[in-house]
Structure 1
Amino acid sequence: MCYDISFSSNVQLITDYLPDLVVDAQLPIDFDLTLHVMAQAYRKYPVIIFEDDTYKLKSFEWGVIADYMNTPEKVKQSRQYMCNAQSEKIINDKKSFWRRIRSKRCLIPVTGIYEHREIKGWKNKVPYFIRLKDRPMFCIPGLYHYSPLPDVETGEIKGTFTLITRSANSVMKQIHNGGPNVFRMPMFLPKELEMRWLQPGLTDEDIQQVLDFEMPSETLDYWPVFTIRSTKPRPDNQDKTAPFTWPNLPPLGVDESTEQKNLFS
């Protein structure tokens, strides 16, 4: 699944991408902290919705709080599983919560995402940064929902969102090659399909046509980085998303090696 995303710019990049966008005057986003955002931190993140015939940029929390999570205990227990929505369940699974909220569509602006690669014989997974070529920013489609529980301190009804994933293309299968949700990737779209995702009144067939799109592998840029979630400083003092040379790293598609220098020891 995709639990780590990056936005390495500011709100101006988003408004340049979508000039008609109305930015929430109370957008409490610190863009100095969005170089890496992890799903289960449930932090506020800028999300684009189409509401009242207007494109709006709002601050929602990553991780949907569904209607059945009507106590703090249920939220704590179940929210961790609501950060990603499998594309296959949005239309075809009639019991899925994602189908129930399929009309609440949003876009999640990113400059890239992170994913881990497993290599047999290595103690640590190798982190990668992935982005789309020739697009300094793009948007991952998602779904949003307002929490059934008001904030205990402010009384605010929080907006929450989930990020849509699909089966991986050939490159992403070689990067996201292990774990309980192996061979999946975020839904990447060309800009025209991003905008279509936000259009009101889409039929189930229209929605499915968008969800069926697979971003070709050759449109991706990707490279190893030093770490995703660790706070250990990079030995080369470079940016978190900068390429990092891992000693003895086998090429993609070769997932077995007997040597790894443990950079975290």
Structure 2
Amino acid sequence: MCYDISFSSNIQLISDYLPDLVVDPQLNFDFDMAIHVMAQAYRKYPVMINDGGTYKLMPFEWGVIADYMNTPEKIKQSRQYMCNAQSEKIINDKKSFWRRIRAKRCLIPVTGIYEHREIKGWKNKVPYFIHLKDRPMFCIPGLYHYSPIPDVETGEIKGTFTLITRSANSVMKQIHNGGPNVFRMPMFLPKELEFKWLQPDLTDEGIQEVLDFEMPSEQLDYWPVFTIRSTKPRPDSKEKTAPYEWPNLPPLGIDESTEQKNLFS
């Protein structure tokens, strides 16, 4: 799945991407900290929606709070599983919560995402930074929903969102090659399908047409980076998205190594 995204720019890049975008006055987002955003930190993140014909940039928290999470205990127990939505369930699974909120569509602006690769014989997974070629920013389609209960501290009715994933293309299968949700990737779309996703009158057939798109592997650029989920600084002092040369890292498609690597023990 995709639990790590990056936005290494500023709000002007988002405003230029979508004409007539209205920025919510409550948006107070630290773009300097957005080079790595983790899903289950449940931080607010700028998300685009179509609200009655007006494109708005809203501060929503990553991780949907569904209607059945009607107590703080249920939210704590179940929200962790609501950060990604499988594309296959949005139209075709009539029991899925994602189908129920399919009209609440949003776009998540990013400059790239991170995914982790397993290598046999290595204790730690190797993170990769992935982005679309020739596009300084792109948007991942998602769904949003407002919490059924107010925040216990602020009384706020939170806007929350999930990021949509699909089966991986050939390159992403080699990167996201392990774990309980192996061989999946975020929905990457051409710009025209991103905007189509926000059309308020989109039919189920139209939704499915968007979800059926698979980004060709040759449209992706990717490289290994230093660990992103550690407070330990990079040995080369470069930023998180910069390429990192792991000693004896086998090429993609070869996932066995006779030499165990653990830089963090």
Task: Indicate the TM-score class for this superposition, using the shorter chain for normalisation.
Answer: over 0.9
Residue identity opposite 2:63 in structure 1: G
How many Å apart are 1:122 and its aligned residue? 1.0
Contact 2:114 2:127 in 1 (8 A): yes
What per-residue deviation string (whole Å, max 9, x for no partner) do you get for residues 27-70 of structure 1? 02111111101111000000000002110000000000000000
What are structure 2's unaligned runs of at least 5 residues?
Answer: none
Matched residue, 2:244: 244
Question: What is the aligned-residue RMSD (CA, Å)?
Answer: 0.8
Distance 1:148 1:264 in 2: 41
Deviation at 1:200, TM superposition (A): 0.7
Task: Determine the C-alpha separation between the residues in 1 that align with 2:11 and 2:204.
Answer: 32
Question: Structure 1 residue 66 and structure 2 residue 66: aligned?
Answer: yes
Alignment of 1:86-105 (within 5 A): 86-105=86-105
The code of the aligned residue for 2:29 comes to I
Q: Does residue 154 of structure 2 align to residue 135 of structure 1?
A: no
Secondary structure of the residue aligned to 2:12 is helix
Task: Supply the distance in 1 between the matched residues of 2:251 and 2:7 (Cα, whole angstroms).
Answer: 27
Output the CA distance in 2 between the equivalents of 1:154 and 1:78.
21
C-alpha contact (below 8 Å) 1:120/1:257 kept by paired residues: yes
Deviations 1:137-164 (A, max 9, x none): 0000000000001122322111000000
Q: Which position in structure 1 is the counterpart of 2:205?
A: 205
Q: For 1:39 and 1:68, how far apart are their aligned partners in 2?
A: 20
Structure 2 residue aligned with 1:51: 51
Structure 2 CA distance for aligned equivalents of residues 207 and 16 of structure 1 = 25
In the TM superposition, 1:1-265 aligns within 5 A as 1-265=1-265
Q: Percent identity?
A: 88
Helix, strand or coil at the partner of 1:109: strand
**Residue 107 of structure 1 aligns to which amino acid in structure 2?**
L
CA distance in 1, matches of 2:2, 2:224: 16
Q: Is the 8 A contact 1:248 1:260 kept in 2?
A: no
TM-score (norm 1): 0.99
CA distance in 2: counterparts of 1:100 and 1:261, whole angstroms:
45
Question: Which letter maps to 1:230?
Answer: S
Q: Between Structure 1 and Structure 2, how many residues are aligned?
A: 265
SS at match of 1:12: helix
CA distance, structure 2, for counterparts of residue 65 and residue 87 of structure 1: 18
TM-score relative to the length of structure 2: 0.99
Cα distance in structure 1, aligned partners of 2:2 and 2:261: 27
Letter in 2 for 1:11: I
